Structure 1
Amino acid sequence: MLRALRAGAAGFVLKDTPPAQIVESVRRVAAGDSVLSPTVTRRLMAQAAEASADPRRETTTRRIGELAEREREVAVAVGRGQSNAQIAASLYMSVPTVKTHVSRVLAKLGLNNRVQIALLVHDAGLLDKGGGIG
């Protein structure tokens, strides 16, 4: 699952997901959102808890350091699973500005989607520290 997400998958749903939810997930991904089944989310959280001393941390921290402060704040919010509207409200910016920042983060870090941003932010240890580097 992690390998697929790191490779660029925009989501992950289990094969026992009801067909209507699969269709809705495909629509959401097509609209630019990321989708994870609740079971997948729990597995990722468990793996995240085990990986606090991840050897990728130094590399990912360095990569995140390439971002401007506002881009980093948006990246951390994406990592927390917030939508563009939620990010806009919490960071006092417009939704189009959030979209611009997300696009810049993707371009600067060579990523394909929000899931990859979230994984990178997690690997850098920013989700448990309120967004700061270190």
Structure 2
Amino acid sequence: MSVRVLLADDQELVRTGLRMILDVQPGIEVIAEAGDGRRAVELARALRPDVCLLDIRMPVLDGIAATRELAGPDVADPIPVVVITTFDLDEHVYDALRAGARGFLLKDAGPDLLAQAVHAAAAGDALIAPAVTARLLRAFATQPTSTRGGAAQPIDPLTEREEQVLREVAAGRTNEEIARALFVTLSTVKTHVANLLAKLGVRNRVELALWAYQTGRIDGGRAD
């Protein structure tokens, strides 16, 4: 069964390019397009796509507000959102992630990465490209502490292994890569990630990575 995708970007050329890439990927079907955030929310609520790909900078309703309406913490039945951004020019990506975005991609992401992100979001996971993660979180870590919003510490302290897995997640590595790096099974990694999500009260791997930086576990340079 194909993953049904809604695209939203105010540039028709960008939407056309993304549709062309996605339509030839196995197991992915673009079911609708929108040129602004408000229309994207309306279409998403009416069609219930499996994944929404939203640009942050859109007229009428920007991508952050649209993400909050579709996937925010107060949404009873959220729709997975992946944010598409130029990154270098977009300082609001943090707000989009906090609003409920399940992941983020650069607009020039290749076909493979784009398809992987869509499938990951549909499966309830979040794909984080390592290079993008490092740059995003490094920039986040250099912000004044007062602007980061203190992250709550878990009631149950993280185990040494959970700390190791957290650092690997913050480096943008997949479960398979983490398993190889730590010499454990894939099911063990999945268990540790699930435990981290529960202990920290976060929703996905993006929030895990941000939490690692907020709490000073990563120094803003290399995550490995």
RMSD over equivalenced CA pairs, Å: 3.4
Q: CA deviation at 1:71?
A: 1.3
Q: Larger relative CO (CA 8 A, sep 6+): 1 or 2?
A: 1
Name 2:216's counterpart in structure 1: 125
State how far apart, in whole Å, the 1-side matches of 2:171 and 2:210 are.
Answer: 10
* Cα distance change, pair 46–72 in 1 and its aligned pair in 2 (3 A): closer
Equivalent pair of 1:60/1:123 in contact (CA under 8 Å): yes
State how far apart, in whole Å, the 2-side matches of 1:64 and 1:8 are.
Answer: 23
Asked whether 1:34 is paired with 2:127, we answer yes
- Between the aligned residues of both structures, percent identity stands at 38
Name 2:193's counterpart in structure 1: 102
Q: 1:5 aligns with which of 97, 111, 133?
A: 97
Equivalent pair of 1:60/1:120 in contact (CA under 8 Å): yes
Q: If each structure's strand is expressed as a fraction of its own residues, which one has the higher value? A: 2
Q: Counterparts of 1:1-134 in structure 2 under 5 Å? A: 1-13=93-105, 16-17=107-108, 20=111, 22-31=114-123, 32-35=125-128, 41=133, 44-45=136-137, 47-51=139-143, 53-55=144-146, 59-60=150-151, 62-63=153-154, 66-128=157-219
Specify the SS of the correspondent of 1:12: strand
* Cα distance change, pair 19–121 in 1 and its aligned pair in 2 (3 A): closer
The amino acid across from 2:219 in the alignment is D
The amino acid across from 2:187 in the alignment is P
The amino acid across from 1:33 in the alignment is A
Equivalent pair of 1:79/1:119 in contact (CA under 8 Å): yes
State how far apart, in whole Å, the 1-side matches of 2:149 and 2:114 are.
Answer: 36
Equivalent pair of 1:71/1:101 in contact (CA under 8 Å): yes
Give the TM-score, by structure 1 length: 0.72
Provide, for residues 22-57 of structure 1, a one-character-per-residue CA deviation record: whole Å limited to 9, x for no partner: 45421232232324596x657624523522x52478
Equivalent pair of 2:151/2:211 in contact (CA under 8 Å): yes
Equivalent pair of 1:111/1:117 in contact (CA under 8 Å): yes
